A and B are shown apart, each in its own frame.
Chain A
């Protein structure tokens, strides 16, 4: 069994598991973090971002790097950004033959954004398995991303700066960009449609057979709508893949732990990206910061994704504003998929927590944002050009994409409100370092709050989970075994497990310590009828079985041997008898007595930890008897050997 890691970000994982001849891809996350190196895509032409100057590295360096390279780079706030169409770091697909992937198991919508890069133009022929909410919300995420990229396109693609010799001469952090040479442009809507058409929808705890070799089963992971962990099980081996999971009480169906217990291998990914911040106090901080700003007459910008924690933010913030007497303040939600994401969230009742499910039977919408929309407190638009201007009031709270601040309407609002200290931008998504996100907008007067809300498992929760699940072997990201860079002494923020877990990182192939020892074989009823079991000890019966083994679709069936008249006659003519079988372990004392009777003299018996050694010095022989083996080392003549054989056979049981 082997595991290949294709992703550099454990929170956007992508693995290939080779097991019993099947190649399974586990998730295909897209690391969007690298778009921080690009200049933001402006919503309205002529804004300040579009006026930033070309990077001037000095005459010497300029001549060394070349004019065309410098034209691709812009300088802003003391940092250099790439001026071109945004590109994304895809998984390390060169390591594997994607046409040989049999199936892709998707855990949640945030771990599937690279799917078109895997399935399209690569010869992929397999099936993609995921739950329905994952498919629908994943589609919305992809559509939002490509809409942002296509809506305000850049004129050109910057590629020259990626050359290795140029890259090393660029200033940090651009020179530290991860593998820019393999970055790819965003896929198209057609690619998305084609890719998602390969998806086969599964429900929680639904077992799906993969070529008769194994069953795969998703079980709820409590992280987001329809998110799951995967149990991959053959007759004698069990592998559990724990991706984005949460034990907190939020809107999704709670995590199920029982199916993950007692596995041979537990692959763990997607732990919290903000181990120093707990989500609960962060939601409180978020609400307080928003309310303080609003109370003092400012506006609040929340760069966010179109789904997930955003729903909880609507709920918590609106409730908090009601409490503080700010119920009149409007909430705006801007996303190309805002309509569908708000609508879909309220029809996935079966994938929600019990409290939200029970609302459906009242009947009420499970999420309060439905009511907020109907009351006009939450107003959603596809973009700033979609009628927002006619219905825009301040102070307000604006939820807008994209959290990277490189794409989407958030770029516009950060430019619009950035000059006033009474406004606040609150970062809640943990995927992007907020200071880097703000890089191109410096200097910025507006207040900046960082309240990362990552509901994924914390290290303490993960350690407890592992303790409960008791896997035989644990596989975790290499980064999970050492404390975070910001808190090097916090050894509690690591995965601690005895024996030491196996670790993965991008581009590594792990040999997992599982050896196939057994396989299930079915006995054909006809053959089973002929068996005559003999009880050898209470509860245990044995029987001789003779049959032919047939293998079809990786299923083994033992069938009666087809009568071969020629061979049968031949055997009959030979007059051969049926063979007898020996079993059991010899009793040492009776064996020694029998040896004595057989005329063997000077018998020395020595007990060892594993069994017994009988030494016959006169015959230059050593007999080593262990629980499951007997060795006779005999240098003497043939007669001794025969005597020993006969004596030993007498001590064994016969069938």
Chain B
């Protein structure tokens, strides 16, 4: 791109901005221009930008508001770059004229000032000029716009952060304004919090929410605010308000507790005593969830507290209630309130989810989790006397969210240190939960994941293999039933589970059971399933089996099929299946068979032929998978001939016998062999494909090939190859027409390798698709063209 041309156009655009009277139709172009100016351009553009800002400041009254915001954003951006406060005049003008009260201008104004505050000189200037801080605080108090609040908060936080920074660096930077600002905000926080605590029915003011957001982000302000009353008020407000306000207060409270902890004084312990004194903090069944969540957060943040044992019992209270236990150190008031809360299904589940999430795997609460998971499955017959307990337990029956959550936690808790008895119990419960025919498939999937992870641990445990042997037939039976489930998702999950089980073939017991069971034929029958996902999964089983040599024979004998028959079936699927998923899976499976199994020559030929045809598939992913196959064929057939192979290595043949290295001859042979597989036709087809991804992949294969054979492809060699290929065809290799085709294709490929700028092609494919990024001048031209084209009635709103 011509830089001068761009600078010239940029000047034109800036002039245009100064004169326009109505907003630019495409409002995204201003942001794009800012991005371009930020990233790509040099001092000349900056100079133009500075000039524009000065001119805009002079004409601020007549400027279109969107241009004012653009100017402010540009000024902020430039100020960051320049490291100076050359645009003070702009901010002063906007401040004096009160333009910052406009929402969009105000938002850009505070954003811009935040950027100014990012540099030390800018920050100093802002701290000296008290007006800007006052404006920000005033904006926070007014119920205007969330965007304006966010910008103003950002500015205040920036200024407060610097205060802290200055304290650490040099004392001289500390100004009275900072202290005053901090003190002012602290007083406001105390006052607003007190009011919020006194009137629990009123929602939090926006100002308090803003102040709390600032408090969370500002260490200095936290130091100022962190006193007993404030923390009590924060607790009170966090328990009595709706979720966002509650979480904001909770977060602020945790930050305050951190400060207390760092200070090392006894305030934290005092507060914790008050926190655990449930009679004093107005706990009700309505807010017990928030209290519990806060207790979890405190427990996780301060594990070394004096009251951590008591806190731990509070955290585990929902589990204790559900399992019918009564924790000793939890007072009866809290126990009663929590039980009352858990009658409500939503709260009960919420409390249990929080508890489960709070348990780290090392905490060893596997027993409790398993018991609760068991409760979610069975409908318990309760004794008539304990209606409350019965009602609470009914809440968790068949609750999928809780079941998934517990299964996740159990999965992560399974490790080699878990005793065998616990592992078998976990197997019992997880199998029971995932056993029903109509189980939701996510639950079933997680259940099987959990079961398999337990099996792996159990198999490696001493005497564990006996248990695995006894459980595996049950698991296989369960999978067999799920394979014919009424829900296709369940059938799909079952096939995937069988694949996972196949992947565990290295676990001796698993291999034995898979060999003796008849699960493979049942799973393979799913290739005739009506659902394409199920078919695809069943086809993928072939790939999994191909990678498990111990199971291959069992697979074929159970199916009463030969390898050739299976491959024939996959080829049929590639040709005939109407859905893309099975075809993709078939291609991948064929690749796995080709790579991992030694397949007879006639069958290999069939595979090559099918893979050439697969390149004409309608689905780009089928073609991409096919190209993966061809990549592996290429890797196999063409050994590395590049110059980085040392001579001593080049002198050795793969078999170890000494052989004279004739680079040209081996290359020719390999290329000819490769071309006879159909590789060249497939790659040519790929390079001409309509899909960029396929083309990119084809060129990448060519790039790899080129790297291997080196850069010395010349006419002479190509002719030689042609002759050699022709000679070979006279011998053992196929019909004339076929050989002609492969020779032509090989020539085309070699031409491509020699002539095509593969790197350039790849850079085009992998580059950005955004035209403006490629050609910023176009953006400027488009902006300018608006001046001529704009007619309101010509616009069509595409949104």
Tell me the A residues contacting B by CB distance below 8 Å: 280-281, 284-285, 287-288, 291-292, 295-296, 320, 322-325, 487-491
Cα–Cα, bound, A325→B522 (Å): 11
A312 to chain B, nearest CB (A): 13
Partner of B531, one of A296, A323, A490: A323
Chain B residues lying within 8 Å of A323, measured Cβ to Cβ, are: 486, 488, 529-531
> Is B526 at the interface (CB under 8 A from chain A)?
yes
> Is B470 at the interface (CB under 8 A from chain A)?
no
Contact between chains at B526 and A325 (CB < 8 Å) = yes
* Residue-wise interface mask of B (474-487) relative to A, using a CB-CB cutoff of 8 A (1 in contact, 0 not): 00000011011110
Contact between chains at A284 and B437 (CB < 8 Å) = yes
Chain A residues lying within 8 Å of B436, measured Cβ to Cβ, are: 281
9 contacts between A and B (CB under 8 A): A281-B437, A281-B438, A285-B438, A292-B480, A292-B484, A295-B484, A320-B484, A325-B527, A488-B381
Within 8 A of A (CB), among B504-526: 518, 522, 525-526
A290 to chain B, nearest CB (A): 8
> Is B695 at the interface (CB under 8 A from chain A)?
no
Chain B residues lying within 8 Å of A292, measured Cβ to Cβ, are: 480-481, 483-484
A99 to chain B, nearest CB (A): 50
> Is B623 at the interface (CB under 8 A from chain A)?
no
Partner of A295, one of B384, B486, B525: B525
Residue in chain A with minimal CB distance to B487: A284
Contact between chains at A295 and B522 (CB < 8 Å) = yes
Residue in chain A with minimal CB distance to B381: A489
Tell me the B residues contacting A by CB distance below 8 Å: 381-384, 436-438, 480-481, 483-486, 488, 491, 518, 522, 525-531
Partner of B384, one of A285, A288, A489: A489
Residue in chain B with minimal CB distance to A325: B528
Cα–Cα, bound, A288→B522 (Å): 13
Number of A-B contacts (CB under 8 A): 60
User: Which of A284, A287, A488, A491 has the largest number of chain B CB atoms within 10 A?
Assistant: A284
Residue in chain A with minimal CB distance to B484: A291
Contact between chains at B525 and A324 (CB < 8 Å) = yes
A497 to chain B, nearest CB (A): 20
Main secondary structure of the interface of A (DSSP, over half): helix
Chain A residues lying within 8 Å of B528, measured Cβ to Cβ, are: 324-325
Cα–Cα, bound, A280→B483 (Å): 19
B566 to chain A, nearest CB (A): 16
Contact between chains at A284 and B382 (CB < 8 Å) = no
Chain A residues lying within 8 Å of B525, measured Cβ to Cβ, are: 295, 324-325
Main secondary structure of the interface of B (DSSP, over half): loop
Given A325-B528, A325-B529, check contact A295 B437 (CB 8 Å): no
B536 to chain A, nearest CB (A): 14
Cα–Cα, bound, A373→B420 (Å): 55
Partner of A487, one of B381, B481, B491, B529: B381
Contact between chains at B518 and A288 (CB < 8 Å) = no
Chain A residues lying within 8 Å of B488, measured Cβ to Cβ, are: 323
Q: Which 4 A-B pairs have the closest CB atoms?
A: A325-B528, A291-B484, A489-B381, A323-B530
A324 to chain B, nearest CB (A): 5
Residue in chain A with minimal CB distance to B382: A489
A88 to chain B, nearest CB (A): 36
Contact between chains at B522 and A320 (CB < 8 Å) = no
Contact between chains at A324 and B437 (CB < 8 Å) = no
Cα–Cα, bound, A490→B381 (Å): 7
Residue in chain B with minimal CB distance to A289: B481
Chain A residues lying within 8 Å of B382, measured Cβ to Cβ, are: 489
Chain B residues lying within 8 Å of A491, measured Cβ to Cβ, are: 384
Residue in chain A with minimal CB distance to B436: A281
Chain B residues lying within 8 Å of A490, measured Cβ to Cβ, are: 381
Contact between chains at A287 and B486 (CB < 8 Å) = yes
Partner of B484, one of A281, A288, A487, A489: A288
Partner of B529, one of A281, A284, A324, A488: A324
Given A295-B525, A324-B525, A490-B381, check contact A284 B486 (CB 8 Å): yes
Contact between chains at B529 and A288 (CB < 8 Å) = no
Cα–Cα, bound, A491→B227 (Å): 55
Residue in chain B with minimal CB distance to A321: B484
Cα–Cα, bound, A18→B430 (Å): 58
Cα–Cα, bound, A488→B384 (Å): 10
Contact between chains at B437 and A296 (CB < 8 Å) = no
Chain B residues lying within 8 Å of A288, measured Cβ to Cβ, are: 437, 481, 484-486
User: Which of A284, A288, A322 has the largest number of chain B CB atoms within 10 A?
Assistant: A288
Contact between chains at B522 and A296 (CB < 8 Å) = yes
Residue in chain A with minimal CB distance to B485: A288
Cα–Cα, bound, A416→B488 (Å): 34
Residue in chain B with minimal CB distance to A280: B438
Chain A residues lying within 8 Å of B484, measured Cβ to Cβ, are: 287-288, 291-292, 295, 320, 324
Contact between chains at A325 and B438 (CB < 8 Å) = no
A248 to chain B, nearest CB (A): 16
A509 to chain B, nearest CB (A): 33
A543 to chain B, nearest CB (A): 61
Chain A residues lying within 8 Å of B530, measured Cβ to Cβ, are: 322-325
Cα–Cα, bound, A322→B531 (Å): 10
Partner of B483, one of A284, A287, A295, A487: A295
Chain A residues lying within 8 Å of B480, measured Cβ to Cβ, are: 292, 295-296
Chain A residues lying within 8 Å of B491, measured Cβ to Cβ, are: 324
Residue in chain B with minimal CB distance to A483: B381
Q: A287-B484, A325-B529, A489-B381 are in contact. List 20 more A-B contacts (CB 8 A).
A: A280-B438, A281-B436, A285-B437, A285-B438, A292-B480, A292-B481, A292-B483, A295-B483, A295-B522, A320-B486, A322-B530, A323-B530, A324-B525, A324-B528, A324-B530, A325-B526, A325-B527, A487-B381, A489-B382, A490-B381
Residue in chain A with minimal CB distance to B530: A323
Cα–Cα, bound, A51→B486 (Å): 42
Chain B residues lying within 8 Å of A324, measured Cβ to Cβ, are: 483-484, 491, 525-526, 528-530
Cα–Cα, bound, A292→B382 (Å): 36
Cα–Cα, bound, A96→B438 (Å): 49
Cα–Cα, bound, A432→B528 (Å): 37
A329 to chain B, nearest CB (A): 12
Chain A residues lying within 8 Å of B384, measured Cβ to Cβ, are: 489, 491
Residue in chain A with minimal CB distance to B527: A325
User: Which of A281, A285, A295, A324 has the largest number of chain B CB atoms within 10 A?
Assistant: A324
Chain A residues lying within 8 Å of B529, measured Cβ to Cβ, are: 323-325
Chain B residues lying within 8 Å of A322, measured Cβ to Cβ, are: 530
Residue in chain A with minimal CB distance to B477: A292
B400 to chain A, nearest CB (A): 15
Chain B residues lying within 8 Å of A488, measured Cβ to Cβ, are: 381
Cα–Cα, bound, A292→B523 (Å): 11
Chain A residues lying within 8 Å of B486, measured Cβ to Cβ, are: 284, 287-288, 320, 323
B386 to chain A, nearest CB (A): 11
B738 to chain A, nearest CB (A): 37
Contact between chains at B438 and A284 (CB < 8 Å) = yes
Cα–Cα, bound, A290→B460 (Å): 37
A113 to chain B, nearest CB (A): 33
Cα–Cα, bound, A291→B528 (Å): 14
Contact between chains at A296 and B438 (CB < 8 Å) = no
Cα–Cα, bound, A491→B390 (Å): 12
Cα–Cα, bound, A394→B483 (Å): 21
Chain B residues lying within 8 Å of A325, measured Cβ to Cβ, are: 525-530
B786 to chain A, nearest CB (A): 56
Residue in chain A with minimal CB distance to B380: A489
Cα–Cα, bound, A320→B484 (Å): 8
Cα–Cα, bound, A284→B482 (Å): 11
Cα–Cα, bound, A280→B486 (Å): 11
Chain B residues lying within 8 Å of A284, measured Cβ to Cβ, are: 437-438, 485-486
Cα–Cα, bound, A323→B526 (Å): 9
Chain A residues lying within 8 Å of B381, measured Cβ to Cβ, are: 487-490
B79 to chain A, nearest CB (A): 66
Residue in chain A with minimal CB distance to B522: A295
Chain A residues lying within 8 Å of B527, measured Cβ to Cβ, are: 325
Cα–Cα, bound, A287→B530 (Å): 15
Residue in chain A with minimal CB distance to B384: A489
Chain B residues lying within 8 Å of A287, measured Cβ to Cβ, are: 484, 486
Residue in chain B with minimal CB distance to A316: B486
